[in-house]
Chain A
Amino acid sequence: MIERLKKRALFVSPHRDRLESFRRRAGEGLAPWTLEVATDAHAAIARVAAHGADAVIADEAYATAQGSLLFSHMQRDFPSTACLLLGAGAASNGFAHPTISPDSDPSLITMMLERACALRAVLSNPRLQRLVGALDRLPALPRTYTTLTQALAVPEPSLVDVVEIIETDPALCAKVLQLVNSALFGLMRKTSSIKQAVSYIGFETLKGLVLTATVLNALVTAPPRAISLDRFQLYSLRVARLARRFARESSFVDEVFTAALVHDVGKLVLAMRDPDAFANIDAHRLETQKSVVETERELFGVGHGDVGAYLLGAWGLPFGVVESTAFHDRPSELAPGPCPIIAMVHAADALTDIVACQEPPSRLDTAFLERAGVIERLPTWRALVEEEVLTWDT
């Protein structure tokens, strides 16, 4: 392959031997790549500025302060460059950037590189930047969510600490209580106590509720006419609970729950950006028989999945959540590689659409689910969705 057509990856590590170890491990899979090295964050930033890079792979040593400097520069100044972390943890451990274990199978290493670059290409679409930039203000990072995430990351989170974090934001308190007291949780008796609410629903569900509430607070300055926010939130929670049931036995159940909670957040942006066009999506689809993604791209130039992923990426949510948001309604466009989170989010979302909103069976991408290795679980998942939807009367 001619050198200039190869993708360029920059490996950042103070230890040159780690680069050689990485190169040996990845083997032939790195053939399409030119691999260069920088020994610190400043050198890496300078190199990318001078020569560009498709991907920056930072040694796990950079999962700390210097890493923050490196990654925040990349995100701000070189948004089309994918950033990955080479670390000993699992591939999905809550980092905003995809992580590759140095002991991973060589094919997985190259797959993750390709996937990170593919997502970065999606999120670098100038139309996305124009669309989100056209909002009155760029939504702020949901601080309460990140503070809560940190508090829950310890081995034994403190209920007192968690309640204190929530109670610093009265509007958030009210929203969490509203959701907990809704039909979704079926409480026998309404509660007005955050402490009681947290005790009842558990920390992970609370984290999801806080994420939903802070996202809405950040995005929505005035209620969009074309969306009922209450119903939108309830539906997202319902899909998330179903996705969590699908993922019950897995190690990424919490990430699946979070990804399913926020997968449609991009719709809020589209609805506020152009309420009339958004309200016409349904009628347009009826006329053209096109999918939601195709219709959104026709009317807005981008799909709601791209918009949501852009925002969630800017907020530093885990790579798995961001990728799932980008591809949940077009999973076949995902580059090859393990994709259990997207599979479960897509299945929960599509099956609920089919059962509760009478969407056609083609809404479910069975070819993708077969590729993801979950096709045999489809009948069980469908039964779960039907059982759940039967309890809905709103």
Chain B
Amino acid sequence: MRIVVFDPDASACARLAAPLRVAGHELILTSDEGAAISALSVGPADAGLLRAEDGAFNVAKRLRGVSSGRSVHLLLVASQVTDALLLKGYEAGFDAELRLPCSDAVLVARMAALARSLGRPLGGVQKASGAAQGKPDTPLERVAFSQTWRGAASAIQAAAAKFLSLPASVEAAPPSGTFAFGAEILLASGQSELELRVALAVDAPTARALAVHLFGNEGASLEADMLSELSNIFMGTLKSAFNAESFAFASGLPQAVPPDTVLRPAVPFAHQEVFTLRLNDARVAVHLGVRAKGNMPITVAGLREGMVLVKDLYNARGMLLLNGGTRLSATMVERLKGALLPTFSVEISAI
């Protein structure tokens, strides 16, 4: 299933999501109300785990107000469950509660039961269309349901271990902390109109250590090159695997990118995975994303700098805010978030 986890405490958010990621669910983690509404309503998600705070009730109420959010299963996550809290939750639009503490086994089993009741695959990415259960019917869904996608983290782990000659493991939650370097590589599949992204981010000590490991002492300042090389290796691994499944992704070049865009790309992906690649003591944040080329509708809450508007954008009154073709700056994004409802749909260019 696609599950959105909302908790103002980012580390609590990651802790809750970790066992579900291992179980094969697609997780979207956020501490931002607007981003939660966007993630739940666009797609849409199958379920939401929302920590019982004021923001969660606002998210539920707004989500139930839009047509795409009415069927999302919402669970109110709380450690102290009272009648008043339950009443507030149900009135806001929650379907059930999840009491903490909850063991990983119980949480995974609970989500599996929910998946069964919703008719979803027990793990892995849900299909986006109304086709028969478990039978993807678009190229995007075939990628998302493929063994390559499901095993991507393991493939990357193996490629890293081989290339770097270091023991490697995968952790479900993304690393915390401040990243200093980022790199990404994009591949496009012309035939099936898909785009695949592999992006990595590391902090400064990790970058230096890996650069030295790869290039020797004189390579201590080649952190960006190291990261680009890593992303290239990982993408090559995936490309070969996907090509074997008849998705002929063309080659792309790795490039350095601002590290904060690695886990928050400018354009949203229909399916994505975020995890930590552990190399000895070093931790590398990895983002995998796949999306269809073409325009995508997203909510105002999900707007990011760098996105390009497809059409003229008007406010609720009908007054022109921005022209079509405008690439959004950070200032423009803030202005739009201040002028439009968070659930307002905006069409943006995927590429």
Please tell me if A249 contacts chain B, counting CB pairs below 8 Å.
no
A235-B316 contact given A286-B335, A358-B338, CB 8 Å threshold: yes
Q: In the complex, what's the smallest C-beta–C-beta distance from A365 to chain B, in angstroms?
A: 18
Contacts of A393 in B (CB 8 A): 65-68, 343-345
> Given A228-B318, A231-B316, A232-B318: A356 and B335 within 8 A (CB)?
no
In whole angstroms, what is the CA distance A229 to B319 when docked? 9
The closest CB in chain B to the CB of A281 belongs to: B319
CB distance from B317 to the nearest CB of A (A): 5
Binary interface encoding of chain B residues 307-343 relative to chain A, with 1 for a CB under 8 A from any of its CBs, else 0: 0000010111111110000000000000100111101
**Residue ID in chain A nearest B69 by CB atoms:** A393
Asked whether B340 lies within 8 Å of A391 as measured between CB atoms, the reply is: no
CA distance A235 to B320 in the complex (A): 14
Q: Give chain B nearest CB distance to A360 CB in angstroms.
A: 10
Given contacts A227-B320, A231-B314, contact A358 B65 (CB under 8 A): no
Q: Is B317 in contact with A231, judged by CB distance below 8 angstroms?
A: yes
Q: Which of A336-394 contact B (CB under 8 A)?
A: 353, 356-358, 389-394
User: Does A279 have its Cβ within 8 Å of any Cβ on chain B?
Assistant: yes
B287 at the interface (CB under 8 A from A): no
Report the nearest B residue to A353, measured CB to CB: B317
Q: From the candidates B65, B317, B343, name the one contacting A357 in the complex (CB within 8 A).
A: B317
| A357 close to B315 (CB less than 8 A) | yes
Q: How large is the interface on A (under 10, 10 to 19, 20 to 34, 35 or more residues)?
A: 20 to 34
The DSSP consensus for interface residues of chain A is helix
B142 interfacial by beta-carbon distance below 8 Å: no
Closest to A224 in B: B320
Instruction: Chain A residues near B316: list those with CB within 8 A.
Output: 231, 235, 356-357, 392
Contact A356:B319 (CB < 8 A) given known A228-B314, A390-B65: no
- Residues in B neighbouring A40, C-beta threshold 8 A: none
| B-contact bits for A243-282, CB 8 A (1 contact / 0 none) | 0000000000000000000001001000000000001011
**B61 in the interface, Cβ–Cβ < 8 Å?**
yes
Residues of A within 8 A of B321 (CB): 282
Chain B residues within an 8 Å CB radius of A161: none
| A148 and B65 alpha carbons, distance in the complex (Å) | 37
Q: Which residues of the other chain, B, contact A23 by a CB distance below 8 angstroms?
A: none
The answer to whether the Cβ of A230 comes within 8 Å of any Cβ in the partner chain is yes
Once the chains bind, are B340 and A235 in contact (CB under 8 Å)? no
Identify which of A225, A264, A353, A358 contacts B340 (C-beta below 8 A): A358
Interface string of B297-315 (1 = CB under 8 A from A): 0000000000000001011
Contacts of A267 in B (CB 8 A): 319
Closest to A239 in B: B317
14 contacts between A and B (CB under 8 A): A226-B319, A226-B320, A228-B312, A228-B314, A286-B335, A353-B317, A357-B339, A389-B341, A390-B62, A392-B341, A393-B65, A393-B67, A393-B343, A393-B345
**3 A-B pairs closest in CB distance:** A232-B318, A231-B318, A390-B65
Q: A230-B318, A235-B316, A282-B321 are in contact. List 19 more A-B contacts (CB 8 A).
A: A225-B320, A226-B320, A227-B314, A227-B319, A228-B312, A228-B318, A228-B320, A229-B318, A231-B314, A234-B318, A235-B318, A267-B319, A279-B320, A282-B319, A286-B335, A357-B339, A358-B340, A393-B343, A393-B345
Please give the residue numbers on chain A whose beta carbons come within 8 Å of chain B beta carbons, in ascending order.
225-235, 264, 267, 279, 281-282, 286, 353, 356-358, 389-394
